[in-house]
Chain A
């Protein structure tokens, strides 16, 4: 009997994305390639794959992608190619059993398995105190190590190591391999004029600079002639102002790779040390598509994969239809929601937990920590049963105070486990202070609003009752006494205006949250007390709207609580918008004419202004804990209501409460 597969509703809508393709001799069930975008840092210090990694890879295998690229493994035994603290190694057969398991997971899920080989070059040698490069071009970022120039003998050895690694991957059961220049690794170092200033046959002209790449491709093709090879190459390095390759040179290098017979070109953007964003939240989705389109036009007979800052399946479907690329290369959105492809196939995109491009994943990598995701609290905990959503043994009636991210995350997680859940919030809509933050965000307000929209959709779908315009206090609690078994206080944090109580003019202070929520308007000249994430975000919004803002920060620098991957963007906005900053200073007096601050130099500075807004310090809304502790069986707290922090901590804690309660 023949079974006819029935297309799911989303597959019919996104039919170009979900149509099968071929890569070499392999049939691929759809046009989605899981990109090896992030090293997880879940593994052993010697490159051994751990149970934590295997559990994570099982989730990746099940994402529904037609092709899965396993994260980059370094190919040399000394670790010169090793960029990350707990990166996977593939330089020895002793690593084979775990790679075999990964290939099997991927095949069991019906996908094609590709192994990336990642020699980090300029960014490598994390355990060695040096890195190897074509030339000893000094580093521009202190995170990386001083360079040593590769000899021709070392180049030959490195090429062989790549070929051996590819052969090993194929022996483990992978179908294909990939080499990568993204984002400034060894392959890029040879290709780029910025790091390759050799005078021998490996340097000089584009043809010479591409020699290492051609040798790599030849060696891998000879070692694994029956298996496809993908090469990730920059369409734009974003290093050209410092002497790197122009876009024309980048495409000339792609031409060389095509001429060498690669099966797929994966087009990428940017180097780690590039002075501008390639996939941060300030880059509009689809912004870099023109690079892929150019590659596809230049190389119509070679498969092109692309995905930089392209998080949306509908956009990807259109790109496949428009011949902008053949395969959508996606990773970060699948960190945020591993079910995204299935939800797209079932036409349930509104249920996707969105990737907001916070780059928390990368911020942690550069602190040598395992990657996590702001939006997905499960990421990295797949191996731990305690993190899994399981049916609750005892079904409870749960009340959640606060409809911000912590409260909503706790609510939907608890509801999934079978609890009956009601969320209370004094506002007329869900989102808490995140809604105000989104409204003032200069990057992409839609990204943050999408988080709130997601919680709204999921609450409705799961049957979480949401009671808005309802302030939870002792009187209210008495009115619902014994109706609930457990209470989660996720009431957020407030601006600590009380800490200014004895300061002259304290009655003139305005709460930053009231400004952010649009409840208060301010005059032309404004002083913002606090240069953290909230203070800067509101200041940027006000300055752009025509106000003249001076930020007063008690620390030496502004932006102390902002993730490193986005801090530069805020400090750049401060400069670009002309926001004045006064650091190492504290507010001592406010009058109708302005603010007086005490500076670190021991003096005082008067700043004329119409209004003084306070964004810092913040204080957790602890009060409800004390009021409720004798009124309910179980009382828990989460998010800013315990310690004021950011969105990631709110979601993580909300989830942990939800799976535990």
Chain B
């Protein structure tokens, strides 16, 4: 059985929900049931270099899920204990610095802050559906907004 790690690092859900509502056009094309997960790197144990073990058998920990429900993107906290159970399309694994920065910017440009954290390596990012599936599910705008190359990225 996985260890249970208490994690209260996501802050107020209402603040996340307000941020998602302000950016609703990014999620407007997404299918019902589309899900993005955010977990803490430290709490989940999904650490660079040991990320596979972490992704497969994470400590049971809080996951902030953004899920399309009832026509809009909703923020909820769930338990995460590895990818098999999480059923998310994308997983962001954020270190404490990235989470704090995103929380601090929830009333402003939180998605830009997340984008910068991905580029700096403070957020690891994994995709669990392929290009066609993500395209069909309406993810392109969101992925582009995070600065992630939708196609290959030789640069």
Contacts and interface: CB of A to CB of B under 8 A. Distances in A.
A575 B115 contact: yes
Of listed B91, B119, B151, residue having the most chain A CB within 10 A: B151
B124 interface: yes
A277 B155 CA distance: 5
A144 interface: yes
Interface in A211-270: 241-243, 270
A419 interface: no
Interface stretch (A358-366, A529-537, A630-638): A358-366
Contacts of B124: 140, 242-243
B45 to A, nearest CB: 13
A243 B49 contact: yes
Given A241-B120, A275-B119, A366 B126 contact: no
Interface residues of A, number: 48
A139 B52 contact: no
B155 A568 contact: yes
A137 B155 contact: no
Interface SS majority for chain A: loop
Interface string A130-172: 0000011111111111100000000000000000000000000
A414 to B, nearest CB: 35
Interface stretch (B7-15, B32-40, B58-66, B142-150): B142-150
B25 A242 contact: no
Interface string B123-151: 01111111100100001010111011111
Contact of A140 (B49, B53, B126): B126
Given A564-B151, A571-B147, A142 B131 contact: yes
Contact of B49 (A193, A276, A572, A575): A193
A146 B130 contact: yes
B71 interface: no
Given A194-B49, A275-B118, A575-B116, A139 B126 contact: yes
Contacts of A193: 49
A285 interface: no
A138 B154 contact: no
B70 interface: no
A286 to B, nearest CB: 18
Contact of B148 (A129, A141, A359): A141
Contacts of B134: 142
Interface SS majority for chain B: mixed
Contacts of A503: none
B51 to A, nearest CB: 6
Given A140-B126, A565-B155, A243 B48 contact: yes
A143 B151 CA distance: 5
Interface residues of B, number: 42
B51 A600 contact: no
A247 to B, nearest CB: 15
Nearest to B113: A575
Contacts of B55: 137-138
Contact of A272 (B53, B121, B152): B152
Interface string A188-220: 000001100100000000000000000000000
A135 B52 contact: yes
B127 A138 contact: yes
B112 interface: yes
Contacts of B126: 138-140
Contacts of A277: 155
Nearest to B125: A140
Interface string B78-104: 000001000000010000000000000
B29 to A, nearest CB: 10
B153 interface: yes
A146 B152 contact: no
Contacts of B121: 241-242, 275
A146 B48 contact: no
A571 B118 CA distance: 14
Given A135-B52, A141-B149, A142-B143, A572 B128 contact: no
Contacts of A366: 151-154
A333 to B, nearest CB: 16
B4 interface: no
A273 B125 CA distance: 11
A566 B154 CA distance: 10
B19 interface: no
Nearest to B52: A197
Contact of B153 (A138, A243, A565, A572): A565
A557 B116 CA distance: 17
B25 A141 contact: no
Contact of A241 (B48, B52, B148, B151): B48
Of listed A140, A142, A145, A270, residue having the most chain B CB within 10 A: A142
A584 B145 CA distance: 13
A609 interface: no
Contacts of B128: 138, 146
Contacts of A136: 52
B146 to A, nearest CB: 10
Interface string A355-376: 0000100100111000000000
Contact of A575 (B112, B139, B144): B112
A243 B150 CA distance: 22
A568 B153 contact: yes
Given A241-B120, A557-B145, A367 B151 contact: yes
Interface string A366-407: 110000000000000000000000000000000000000000
29 contacts: A136-B52, A139-B126, A140-B126, A140-B127, A141-B153, A142-B129, A142-B134, A142-B143, A145-B130, A146-B128, A197-B53, A242-B121, A243-B48, A243-B51, A273-B153, A275-B118, A275-B120, A275-B121, A359-B154, A362-B152, A362-B155, A366-B153, A556-B25, A556-B26, A556-B141, A564-B149, A568-B155, A571-B147, A575-B112
Q: Which 4 A-B pairs have the closest CB atoms?
A: A241-B121, A243-B48, A243-B49, A366-B152
Given A144-B130, A362-B155, 13 more contacts: A138-B128, A143-B150, A143-B153, A183-B154, A197-B53, A243-B47, A564-B150, A565-B155, A566-B155, A568-B147, A569-B155, A572-B119, A575-B112
